[in-house]
Amino acid sequence: MRGAGMSSSADNRLDLPVVSERQSLREQVAHALRAALITGEMRPGTVYSAPVLAAQFGVSATPVREAMLDLTKEGLVEAVRNKGFRVTEMSDRDLDELTEIRRLIEVPTVARLAGTDRAESFDLLRPVAQEIVDAAERGDLLAYVDADLRFHVELLALAGNVHLVEVVRDLRKRARLYGLSALHQRGRLPDSAREHLDLLELLAAGDADAAEQLMRDHIQHVRGIWARPPQ
């Protein structure tokens, strides 16, 4: 019986695209690997070899190693000496603690935006919120996550605290949406996506209490459904 992280190369083969030269290979590889992490194709605890992944991408091992180092800085993978990179595992306690921090930071910050003179800023965020819904409806999980991150970062930026935004950005990257694919398969992703549009409506209406409750529920959904590792 194989131990954790000791799967064969055949077992670790991923459905990866052959990359092109239109943007840097490092960026393209990192983007594709993030997608594989989000959908759960790259499994927590499993070690992936840069040369093996490079062969699947159709590139040299160098941009793959560079991309993996980028993901290491984000806490998504960790280097394993002479073997490759292991997808980091998040325990229930890790996820609970990250969720608690997000609640403490994001809920009151968003609530304070309600009733402020930011109607134009909320209007500018509506297309991003709609992108989230559109991506959910067509099952494009990477586009969903990209738009979701932009929405929350740009919304929090309205509070004017750059350091707060960077802290939340880092927290969101670390608490990966393990269960996003399963949520999509159960047909529940569009409903969750529409919460972003609902939040903007509450903020524009100046309903701080309702916006606070919706934001609290939204973050709890991330912990309770999206961030639960697949069984």
Domain boundaries, the chain: 25-87, 92-226
Q: Tell me the average pLDDT across 86-109.
A: 88
CATH for the stretch 92-226: 1.20.120.530
In the chain, the amino acid numbered 11 is: D
- Assign a CATH topology to domain 25-87: Arc Repressor Mutant, subunit A (1.10.10)
Q: Report CA-CA distances (Å) from 194 to 103, 164, 190, 200, 214.
A: 20, 25, 6, 10, 11
Q: pLDDT tens for residues 156-191?
A: 999 999 999 999 888 877 766 555 666 667 777 888
Confidence of residue 1 (pLDDT cuts 50, 70, 90): very low
pLDDT at 229: 47
Over pLDDT 90: what percentage of the chain? 45
- Predicted pLDDT of residue 12: 67
pTM of this structure: 0.76
> What pLDDT does residue 4 have?
46
